[in-house]
Amino acid sequence: MGISVGIDLGTSNSVVAILDDDGPRVLADANGRTLQPSVVALEDAVRPIVGREAKERLTHAPQTTVASAKRLIGRRFSDSETQRLRSQVGWTVFGGEAGDARIRVLGDAYTAQEIAAHVLVHMVQIAEEATNETVDSAVITVPAYFNDQQRQATRDAAEIANLKCLRIINEPTAASMAYGYEQRKSQR
- State the pTM of this model: 0.93
Please, are residues 63 and 91 in contact by the beta-carbon 8 Å criterion? yes
In the predicted model, what is the mean pLDDT of residues 46-64?
92
68-78 tens-digit pLDDT? 999 999 999 99
Indicate if the pLDDT at residue 188 is higher than 70: no
The pLDDT of residue 75 is: 95
Cβ pair 72, 49 in contact under 8 A: no
| Maximum Cα–Cα distance across the chain | 56
Structure confidence by residue, pLDDT tens digits, 88-144: 998 999 999 999 999 999 999 999 999 999 999 999 999 999 999 999 999 999 999
